[in-house]
């Protein structure tokens, strides 16, 4: 375990800051020392990945807003026939969203995997006082892609399963205060779980581990750094959530048909 700690967390500078800030400063220092490499990785993978995700959000968000709008209209419908017809429209739009997401899934997934392997392997080399290069990053993809592939599949499965746990336990409590407490605790643990799973993905890239064993090693590596990992994971979720929310608000604002339909609905319902 000590060797693993050295590989994953070898610090190229003295720790004179709190652990989360120290980790961010070390990451910045590694980036500045290898700007050309990480900018190349950004241009080859992160930029196309961002473009795909932005295109997906730009295409899906108006349809998603239309689904929400149709569901609201269906609840306010005066006749069962009209309500059934509106629900059918909503279901058709929801299916179109699933088809679009399925179409985007493979390219975004493989670009994400490529980005993770190249960035993590290059960072690990820099932490070991080696000089990473684009060739070494591409070689790491060729040699290690199977391990993170299996690990990410397990991460997706565990995330989907856990997503229902807090809501299920919250539904068992009658009082709103208890439900709120369960949801807050569940969200806090989910942030920690994401930190462990993310570290397990890192382990699967830089070591000969995969799947559950990678998660076990990642959890062991986090011993003594759990609060720091939780904070960093929470900051990442906060930043990504803010970006997603702003993007959704922007795409909603760019869809005048939705604004018109919403105004018409408000007028018709009085």
Would you say the C-alpha torsion 184, 188, 191, 197 has a positive or negative sign? negative
- The pLDDT score that the predictor gives to residue 59 is 83
Burial 154-175 (b: 16+ CB within 10 A, else e): bbeebeeeeeeebeeebeeeee
- The pLDDT score that the predictor gives to residue 5 is 45
Q: Which residues, 6+ apart, have CB-to-CB distance to 209 below 8 Å?
A: 147, 203, 217
pTM over 0.75: no
- The pLDDT score that the predictor gives to residue 77 is 74
The two three-digit tokens of residue 253, written as one number: 């604002």
Domain residue limits at 84: 1-8+21-144
Q: Which residues, 6+ apart, have CB-to-CB distance to 12 below 8 Å?
A: 26, 29, 30, 126, 127, 129
Would you say the C-alpha torsion 132, 126, 226, 231 has a positive or negative sign? negative
For residue 51, being part of any structural domain is answered with yes
The two three-digit tokens of residue 6, written as one number: 């050295």
Query: For each of the chain's 270 residues, which pLDDT tens digit applies?
Result: 444 444 444 444 445 556 667 777 777 888 888 888 888 888 888 888 888 888 888 888 888 888 888 778 777 777 777 777 778 888 888 888 888 888 888 899 999 899 888 888 888 888 877 888 888 888 888 888 889 999 899 988 888 888 877 777 777 776 677 777 877 888 888 888 888 888 888 888 888 888 888 888 888 877 777 777 777 777 777 877 777 777 666 666 544 444 444 433 443 333
> What CA–CA distance (Å, rounded) separates 256 from 262?
10
For residue 265, being part of any structural domain is answered with no
> What CA–CA distance (Å, rounded) separates 218 from 212?
10
For residue 160, being part of any structural domain is answered with no
| 232, 195 contact by CB (below 8 A) | yes
For residue 128, being part of any structural domain is answered with yes
- The pLDDT score that the predictor gives to residue 4 is 46
For residue 40, being part of any structural domain is answered with yes
> What CA–CA distance (Å, rounded) separates 113 from 145?
8
Total structural domains within the chain = 1
Chain position carrying tokens 């807050």: 184
Give residue 10's region: left, alpha or beta (phi > 0; psi -120 to 50).
beta
For residue 27, being part of any structural domain is answered with yes
> What CA–CA distance (Å, rounded) separates 36 from 59?
33
With both helix axes pointing from N to C terminus, report the angle between 176-206 and 134-144 in degrees, rounded to the nearest 10.
110
**Nearest in space to 167 (alpha carbons), one of 180, 152, 149:** 180
- The pLDDT score that the predictor gives to residue 267 is 33
For residue 96, being part of any structural domain is answered with yes
For residue 199, being part of any structural domain is answered with no
| 30, 127 contact by CB (below 8 A) | yes
């Amino acid at each position: 375990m000590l060797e693993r700690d050295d590989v994953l967390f070898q610090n190229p500078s003295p720790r004179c800051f709190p652990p989360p800030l120290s980790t961010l400063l070390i990451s910045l220092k590694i980036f500045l020392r290898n700007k050309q490499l990480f900018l190349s990785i950004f241009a080859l993978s992160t930029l196309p990945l961002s473009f795909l995700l932005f295109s997906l959000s730009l295409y899906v968000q108006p349809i998603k807003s239309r689904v929400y709008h149709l569901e609201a209209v269906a609840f306010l419908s005066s006749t069962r026939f009209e309500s059934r017809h509106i629900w059918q429209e909503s279901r058709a739009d929801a299916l179109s969203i699933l088809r679009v997401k399925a179409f985007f899934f493979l390219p975004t997934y493989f670009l994400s995997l490529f980005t993770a392997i190249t960035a993590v392997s290059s960072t690990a080399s820099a932490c070991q006082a080696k000089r990473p290069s684009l060739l070494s990053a591409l070689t790491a993809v060729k040699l290690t892609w199977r391990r993170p592939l299996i690990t990410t599949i397990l991460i997706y499965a565990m995330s989907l399963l856990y997503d229902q746990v807090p809501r299920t336990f919250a539904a068992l409590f009658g009082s709103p205060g208890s439900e709120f407490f369960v949801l807050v605790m569940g969200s806090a643990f989910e942030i920690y779980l994401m930190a462990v799973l993310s570290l397990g993905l890192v382990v699967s890239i830089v070591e000969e581990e995969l799947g559950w064993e990678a998660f076990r090693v990642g959890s062991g590596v986090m011993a003594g750094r759990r609060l720091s990992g939780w904070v960093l994971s929470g900051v990442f979720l906060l930043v990504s959530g803010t970006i997603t929310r702003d993007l959704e608000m922007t795409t909603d604002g760019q869809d005048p048909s939705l604004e018109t339909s919403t105004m018409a609905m408000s007028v018709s319902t009085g």
